[in-house]
Structure 1
Amino acid sequence: MSTEGRSVELTSATRALESAGFVRLVVRADGDALAASGLLASALTADETPFQVTVGRTVAERSERVRTPTGDDDVTIVLGSANGTDDDTVVHLPATDRPATLEAVDYVREIGSNPDPVLALAGVVASGGEPGAGESEWLLEAARDRGLLEQRPGVAVPTADTVDGLAHTTRVRAPWSGDLGATRDALDDIAGDDPDSLTDDDHRTVGSLVALDVVGAEEAADVAATTIGRVLRPYATPDRPFATLGGFADVLEATARTEPGTGAALAMGHDVTDPALSAWRDRGRRAHAALAEETTGRYDGLFVVSVDDGPVEAVARIAADYLSPEPAVLAVGTGEAAVVTRDALPLGATVEGIARELEEAESDTERTTDSDTDPGTEPGSDSSTSATYDVGHRRGYLRYDPGVDESTIIATVRDLL
């Protein structure tokens, strides 16, 4: 078993579970961590240990849940960064420089359970990794040996309806993305009305057309050619509710951010396919619509996208994968922003530093306001800062006072990234 990137001593963590009467899983809000929570939940179910899964959007939210008093025999497992009690009742799996799924796989095997290789690989893909690369090689081999995955031509989308899948996926960016009618026209009826009638040649033709449209788009950066290659020749998942492994990962990502309860249930294997796909379609439409109205800026090493209304993390990831000539992308919305990097560098300290700088910017604004409004009041005496953050594998999320202007966000990120 690999120990690279391991953040806890697994033997010690296992001991914490031996006498646990109840386990709380406090989970980071992304597809990777959701998949990891599903692996742990399955192991706990097999061991007949009751548990609860809660998803925290930021480090502060997860930290608050970790600090909430629990019963004497309760154990908390945190998937993602959190600040809390450092005792034997709290197990931290931060997973900021390694997919959370791989940490969960190690943990599950340590407690004597066998992880679901398809769910684990979906988590790896959601984290930005390649199924079968590095530590996940044995997971891919196990899934293929058991007939759980079958590689075929085409594109990695969650639905059997290729038009629906391509119109709403956040794993592809083409001129027709986000528009169901335009996607249907682009495929020139190749997908047909009956998804089950598609042959390997049909899938191959669809993949070729999609690749040409992606790479040939006026806004496409050089990186698009590499990114689209990772979406072609997907692994089909014949016994799962979603058509492909990459599509499963895309749905996990969408539900983690927009419908975390549905996402947690999905990762645990419950039948929530319809609401999960509904959340996925909505997020995809909004992300592509935001990019269609984008205002961008390019700095040394940083590509900035202004987002009027849309999911900033999805926008940042799509831009990093297809549109950005720089290795890092900042998507700035109203009161929130997202950072995505193509470099395999830990972002934890960087994103935390950005949040602290934004807190200071908020405090300066509030002190000025307090001073102007009531000269007799000590500046900032009644104010509170609200900047908070999250960090995952090659990504960061920031939430702050909407009064902080975009130029401050950009300058802060440029200085610290």
Structure 2
Amino acid sequence: MATDGRSPRSASAPAPAAALEGTGFVHVVARADGDALAASGLLARALAARGTAYQVSVARTVADRTARIADRELAADDATVAIGAVDAPDIESYTRLDADDRPATLAALETVRELDATPDHGLALAGLVAAGVEPGAGESEWVLEAAAERGLVERRPGVAIPTDGPVDGLAHTTRLRAPWSGDVDATRDALTTLDVALEDDLETFTSDDHRAIGSLVALDAVGDDAAEPIAAETIQRALRPYATPEGPFATIGGYADVLEATAREEPGTGAALAMGHDARDPALDAWREHGRRAHGALSSASTSRYDGLFAIGIDDGPVEAVARLAAATRSPEPTVLVTADGEAAIATRGEGALGATVEAVARELAEVGIDGVAYDGGRRRGYLRYDASVDRATIVQIVRDRR
């Protein structure tokens, strides 16, 4: 496993937009998360508008992306764009779109504008939310303003979910955690206490209907015996969503949730969705399965607490989603480590990128002779893959030592 000499992009590579000028074919290799998926979709749509052929592939680890770039033989007018870190200091045939400490979606928006293309503002906002950026915050202010001016988003009461049905949306979302999360029947039972027609579509609901649902969800999420104080902040980010009247999903936050889910469960479907293809139904199927598995794994997890670190052990489930959910709702510590057989994930509520930490853990595992070590890291998240024979206590100890 190569870990040294990693750089944001190859030393002689031009800026992304310049690297794409005059190209006949572009291969985009993206990190497996919602932010990178959105960035790849924004870039792909800009290339399509220019008549440039392209291919988007999603790779789970730094090693996976490196192999895809290194193994590809490029024609004279081909270009490769990486979204996410690559261990390729000696490969000069690619350009890194993003940086470790900034959402890939923002970098993609800059490149798209430099290519004189108009970005899909709904996709961009969803990518930013997936990256942990509130719509309109910081550099994203112009994106929200442009979307609002075009009538693409409108803020309303309620909860950020992707589906038109509230029971389905709330049962499977990973943007919040309540006692009924992951269970459709339990979610329906909780909502039947309200005077709301649950089988109707959200678009037919009144503002009072949305407010009633939002209030119940907030009370259940914060009032859950297992909830930590951070859950109150998390639920606030899921309330008063930006609805998308013409978008593929009901809200921007729900769109982001689907991007995150498909990036891990069915990356090909996620890439197709981000590129603008008709992939809504399979994407929602993947999202439902992702949410069900994540909530189920967290419900049956074992936990241990250390200074600054909350360790969670699960038998099966999407480790990254479980780590993100726990950090946002269940962890008394700012950093969460989730371990399963042969893989682990780290999530943090802090602002720093976790790439260096995960890389150091991966290096230490490789140095002691562990097979199959691979990793990936980004803003507030990290992923590890290793031989399933490694004891979970070993992973916990290494992460504790490296924090």
C-alpha contact (below 8 Å) 1:351/1:389 kept by paired residues: yes
Change (3 A) 1:8 1:343: farther
Task: Percent identity, please.
Answer: 61
The reply to whether residue 296 of structure 1 matches residue 292 of structure 2 is: no
* Residue among 25, 29, 36 paired with 2:28: 25
Counterpart-to-counterpart distance in 1, 2:298 and 2:166: 22
* Residue among 57, 60, 83 paired with 2:60: 57
Q: How do 1:34-183 and structure 2 match up within 5 A?
A: 34-68=37-71, 69-84=73-88, 89-183=93-187
Counterpart-to-counterpart distance in 2, 1:311 and 1:21: 37
Q: What is aligned with 1:185?
A: 189
- Alignment deviations for residues 216-248 of structure 1 (CA, whole Å, 9 cap, x no partner): 000000100000000000000010121000000
Q: Residue 70 of structure 1 aligns to a residue in which SS?
A: coil
Counterpart-to-counterpart distance in 2, 1:186 and 1:95: 43
Q: What is aligned with 2:312?
A: 305
Question: What displacement does 1:12 show?
Answer: 3.6
Question: What displacement does 1:90 show?
Answer: 1.2
Q: Which amino acid aligns with 1:400?
A: Y
Change (3 A) 1:194 1:12: closer
Counterpart-to-counterpart distance in 2, 1:102 and 1:309: 33
Counterpart-to-counterpart distance in 2, 1:235 and 1:14: 30
C-alpha contact (below 8 Å) 2:13/2:94 kept by paired residues: no
Question: What displacement does 1:318 show?
Answer: 0.4
Question: What displacement does 1:103 show?
Answer: 0.8
Question: What displacement does 1:85 show?
Answer: 6.0
C-alpha contact (below 8 Å) 1:10/1:107 kept by paired residues: no
Counterpart-to-counterpart distance in 1, 2:147 and 2:123: 10
Change (3 A) 1:238 1:95: same
Q: TM-score, normalised by structure 2?
A: 0.94
* Residue among 212, 233, 237 paired with 1:205: 212
Q: What is aligned with 2:338?
A: 331
Q: Residue 63 of structure 2 aligns to a residue in which SS?
A: helix
Q: Which amino acid aligns with 2:351?
A: A
Question: What displacement does 1:190 show?
Answer: 2.6
Q: Which amino acid aligns with 1:359?
A: A
**Could you list the runs of 5+ residues in structure 1 that have no partner in the other structure?**
364-384
Q: Residue 415 of structure 1 aligns to a residue in which SS?
A: helix
* Structure having the higher Rg: 1
Question: What displacement does 1:73 show?
Answer: 1.7
The reply to whether residue 415 of structure 1 matches residue 389 of structure 2 is: no
Quote the RMSD (CA, aligned, Å). 1.8
Change (3 A) 1:322 1:7: farther
Counterpart-to-counterpart distance in 2, 1:282 and 1:8: 42
- Alignment deviations for residues 344-373 of structure 1 (CA, whole Å, 9 cap, x no partner): 11211111001111223444xxxxxxxxxx
Q: Which amino acid aligns with 1:247?
A: G
The reply to whether residue 251 of structure 1 matches residue 237 of structure 2 is: no
Q: Which amino acid aligns with 2:376?
A: D
- Alignment deviations for residues 155-214 of structure 1 (CA, whole Å, 9 cap, x no partner): 000001011000000111000000001001111263522124321100001000000000
Q: Residue 193 of structure 1 aligns to a residue in which SS?
A: coil
**Could you list the runs of 5+ residues in structure 2 that have no partner in the other structure?**
1-7
Change (3 A) 1:14 1:343: same
* Residue among 319, 328, 333 paired with 2:326: 319
